[in-house]
Structure 1
Amino acid sequence: MHFSAIPFFLLVAALGAPQANAHALRNQTLRTHPSIILSAIHGGHFHSPHVSISAADGASTAPTVTPTEASGARVPKVPPSSPDSDETEEPSRSGKISPKVLIFSLFPAEGDVWIDRWAESGLGDLHAVQSTTPGLCMLYPYVHCTADHSVCQVTTGMGEINAATTAMALGLSPLFNLTSTYIMVSGIAGVNPQRATLGSVAFAKYAVQVALQYEIDAREIPVSWSTGYVAYGTKRPLEFPQVLYGTEVFELNAALRDDAVAMARNASMADSAAASEYRMRYKSMGALVAAATQPPSVMGCDTATSDVYFSGDLLSEAFQRTSEVWTNGSAEYCMTASEDNAILEVWVRLAIEGLADFSRVMVMRAGSNFDRPPTGVTAYEHLLVLNQNGFTIAIDNTFNAGIQVVKGILSQWDCKYKDGVKPENYVGDVWGSLGGEPDFGPGSLTGGHPIKPDGQTGSLMRRGMGRGAGVGRPGMPLR
């Protein structure tokens, strides 16, 4: 997750220290005995893959001490059950939780804005049902859902490993059925001043794992090189990888992306005078970065994934060009973040097994900081000294824009979204794992056929996918 370059004391707050304002950023670590958790959920439901706990299940023996938000814990807020309700009905009697929309947040502030502002949506209580399943992040062990399970939200933890682990845990959980669920990755990001500005929201068609390359320290590169990043299997920068890991590029459903952009444009976007003041630093740089000086808006443009929080002209330009080269010039490098390709790889693997629908995935990012500095500001100052003041408006705009998409999907579920939005473009990874021919890279490994579930396709390692064997040859028939 790439967020604003802000002073250390504010960065600590962003990562979880309690604050007094209405949208306080919370440390969601819950260090309590299970009986204390049981006391905290007294009067309502708490679900795990193996047990559905209600107030009748031993609450009278629970300790009287309960965790509070003042302690830094995100305490389940479950409304009291009515006297006539069957407190164990969901999910033990009605089956798995099958949300229409699942929101992936990456760290506390991104998740809290959905919880804290959900009442504005008129869609019930996003805290009505608390669920957990093995493999969720230790800091954020709950999936929050509305009472009818139509919308759920989970916080994964920052970085590719945390995001992938949480996503796979949900996808494989016996508690959830995600086969018809729309996924929305909802987070803040670095933003390219050539494409957008602080507070702007972008929905991606492409996600590019730009840092999955060799790297030579820039102080030691040949004088003719513009960057120390070199794609695997190549000898110089800015070439397509000749050894593929399979996660380099994902292409999403453009029709769904366009729907999301159209719905999100109904939002009223948050802005601030302080953010506007930093934008004006780019005004003297001319037409190339004119987008940086504009108020926040909603658009379609693409994301770059890197666990390294990079900043500055040289790295940003290198990864912008990498995004273009790896997508045959199609990607519009716009937002930079740390989790998108990780979640997308999980969803490809789940889709292969029939556990998810990759064509229902959306990636939404809001710009909290520019990826490169304005004239007269060093990369060091831009990243670590100056406050760009984009953090708060970016967080708010993930909700402002995202809730419009959620409402649109729910309101048009039966007439449009229940059966999915048919993609008109290629959808999937660089290998063609879900079928079809990628419009970037060497082409499908399997002649356009989808990979079969349960390992039925056999070992692709034998088809040239070993790290030392280079890229698999396109068009090879399935055995």
Structure 2
Amino acid sequence: MTHFSPRRRLAFAAGLLSGIVALSGCTTVAPSPPPPIQVKVFVAAMFEIGQNTGDRAGEFQHWYERYWKGAAPITVPGALQPVYCNADGVCGAVLGMGKVNSSSSMQAILLNSRFDFSQAYYVISGVAGTPPQRGTIGEVSWGTWLVDYDLGHRWAPEENKAGEPTFMPRKGYEDYRRFQLNPALVGWAMKLSADTPLKDSQAARTYRLRYPDEAARRAPFVGTGTHMTGDTFFHGPGMSRQAQYIAKLYGADDYVITEMEAAAITLVIKRTHGTDRVMSLRGAVNFDQGHPGESTLAHLDPAPGETAGGFSETVENVALVGSRVVDHIVLNWPQWRDGVPAR
């Protein structure tokens, strides 16, 4: 055994201690994660045609250029596209088309720790169809009710008595086959946006004249009504009558919009934060049936030059109308933070 003098033992201990101190100085402490983003308003679009800016606009581009141009994308596992946020707490993303696609993206975003949605408002935004008896090309509609078109039993008309409905609700879906959106919030949306100057096009004005309905011939306007959610692009007067039948069967308002996502996205939001702060905003780019001289198939698959026109104007109209509400909420956040204020 080697024996050290007291002086050598002291020197050895001092060297060992200095080595430990040096090693501890090299230890890297992981930075704390940033606090979650406090989301005041979340804008959900379903698709974009190309890039988020600088080309032909789809549902997201006008929103992006107004609120997030230059913002860093936030990748969310499970979501179709990144989320963008600005310094004012306005966030948004493209969720994908259809009920499953959009709602799965919304769920992933809601559960991501980068965001705090506890006080957020939602604008479910996009394009849609409308029945010519109640709407027109270029109009913008705030949803009062969201009705799921698909949850039930449906059969072929030839297998039924003439003129009778070919749809029957299925029991068990009562809590999520229709949602009444907060009337106070819809009232605020209309108060803030009803007089928004809307874009129109000569192509849309010409196309409207093919229809005899007074509503179909109207210039674009801001209105309200039931939004009918279905994964099927239904066309024709028979399917339109069925949609209206379902809306009235469920106690909703007349349906004015046909779309593919809002009821499913709202169900996801309801299960996490409730529906009092949900808004559905749609712009009509087509009629859900042909004019009296046009077959349903011809309307569904129009020849070149026979489409409705007005798409680019409508997607801009949606953002013009919706941004009035978004801007008001953010500017007056102390009044909106704890819930929809009295008007």
Scaled by the length of structure 1, the TM-score of the pair is: 0.60
> What's the counterpart of residue 411 of structure 1?
331
Where do residues 437-452 of structure 1 align in structure 2 (5 Å cutoff)? none
Matched, 1:325 2:249: yes
- The Cα shift of 1:410 comes to 1.5
Task: Please say if 1:230 is aligned against 2:168.
Answer: yes
Task: Give 2:47's aligned residue.
Answer: 107
User: Which residue number corresponds to residue 265 of structure 1?
Assistant: 194
Matched to 1:103, the amino acid is: V
1:222, distance to aligned residue in structure 2 (A): 1.9
Whole-Å separation in 2 of the counterparts to 1:324 and 1:199: 25
1:409-431, CA deviations, whole angstroms, 9 ceiling, x for partnerless residues? 112222x212211699xxxxxxx
Provide the rounded CA distance (Å) in 1 between the counterparts of 2:178 and 2:124: 16
1:392 corresponds to 2:300 = no
Alignment partner, residue 279 of structure 2: 362
The offset of 1:267, in angstroms, is: 2.2
- Contact 2:151–2:173 (CA under 8 A) maintained in structure 1: no
Q: Is the 1:199–1:390 Cα contact (8 Å) retained in structure 2?
A: yes
Which of 268, 288, 293 aligns to 1:346? It is 268
3-state secondary structure, aligned to 1:197: coil
Q: Which structure has the larger Rg?
A: 2
AA in 1 matched with 2:78: G
1:291 alignment partner, SS class: coil
| TM-superposed deviation, 1:393 | 2.0
Distance 1:127 1:332 in 2: 41
Residues 183, 127 of structure 1: alpha-carbon distance in 2 compared, 3 angstrom cutoff: farther
Partner of 2:33: 92
Task: Tell me if structure 1 keeps the 8 A contact 2:38–2:117.
Answer: yes
1:178-214: CA deviations, max 9, x gaps? Answer: 0111100010111122222111011111100022121
Say if 1:259 and 1:184 are closer, same or farther in 2 by CA, change over 3 A.
Answer: same
Q: Which has the higher contact order (CA 8 A, sep 6+)?
A: 2
The answer to whether the 8 A contact 1:253-1:423 is kept is no
- Residue 244 of structure 1 deviates from its aligned partner by 2.4
Quote how far apart the aligned CAs of 1:321 are: 1.3
Q: CA deviation at 1:110?
A: 0.7
The one of 137, 159, 166 equivalent to 1:198 is 137
Question: Could you tell me how far 1:113 is from its partner in structure 2?
Answer: 2.5
Offset at residue 367 of structure 1 (A): 0.5
Change (3 A) 1:410 1:266: farther
Question: In the TM superposition, what whole-angstrom CA distance separates every residue of 1:388-439 from its partner, at most 9, and x where no partner exists?
Answer: 113222211111111111111112222x212211699xxxxxxxxxxxxxxx
Name the CA distance, whole Å, in 1 between partners of 2:238 and 2:327.
40
**Amino acid of the structure 1 residue aligned with 2:333:** W
Where does 1:30-69 land on structure 2 (aligned, <5 Å)?
A: none
Q: Does the CA-based 8 Å contact 1:304-1:319 persist in structure 2?
A: yes
Tell me, what secondary structure is at the counterpart of 2:270? helix
Match for residue 5 of structure 1? Answer: none
Which of 97, 119, 123 is residue 158 of structure 1 equivalent to?
97
| Aligned AA (1:230) | M
C-alpha contact (below 8 Å) 1:216/1:229 kept by paired residues: yes
Matches within 5 A, 1:126-145: 126-137=69-80, 140=81, 142-145=82-85
Structure 1 counterpart SS, 2:84: strand
Task: Find 1:307's aligned residue among 231, 235, 245.
Answer: 231
Deviation at 1:365, TM superposition (A): 0.7
Checking the alignment, whether the CA contact within 8 Å between 2:39 and 2:90 is kept in structure 1 is yes
Is residue 278 from structure 1 mapped to residue 207 from structure 2 by the alignment?
A: yes
| 1:283-325 CA distance string (max 9 Å, x none) | 3xxxxx3111111010111100100010100001111111011
Aligned length: 302
Q: CA 1:358/1:230 → structure 2, altered by over 3 Å: closer, same or farther? A: closer
C-alpha root-mean-square deviation of aligned residues, in Å? 2.1
1:237-290 CA-partner distances (Å, limit 9, x unpaired): xxxxx442632111110111111122122422110010011111113xxxxx31
Q: 1:191 to 1:379 in 2, by over 3 A?
A: same
Q: Which amino acid aligns with 2:270?
A: V
CA separation in 1, counterparts of 2:311 and 2:235? Answer: 16
The 3-state SS of whatever aligns with 1:301 is strand
- Structure 2 SS opposite 1:282: coil
CA distance in 2, matches of 1:167, 1:377: 38
- Give, in whole Å, the separation in 1 of the partners of 2:286 and 2:310: 6
**Corresponding residue for 1:446?**
none
Unaligned segments of structure 1, at least 5 residues: 1-88, 233-241, 284-288, 352-356, 425-479
CA distance in 1 between partners of 2:102 and 2:108 (Å) = 10
Q: CA deviation at 1:224?
A: 2.8
Change (3 A) 1:209 1:175: same
**Letter of the aligned partner of 1:207 in structure 2?**
L
Correspondence for 2:19 = none
SS, match of residue 292 in structure 1:
coil
CA contact (8 A) 2:77 2:108 kept: yes
8 Å Cα contact 2:227/2:257 also seen in 1 = yes
1:78-102: CA deviation from partner (whole Å, max 9, x where unpaired): xxxxxxxxxxx9x934x10112110
CA distance in 2: counterparts of 1:377 and 1:362, whole angstroms: 34
Alignment match of 1:185 (pick from 124, 135, 151): 124
Runs of 4+ in 1 over 4 A off after TM superposition: none
Between the aligned partners of 2:155 and 2:272, the Cα distance in structure 1 is: 35
1:249 is matched with 178
Matched residues, percent identical?
29
TM-score, length of structure 2 as denominator length: 0.83
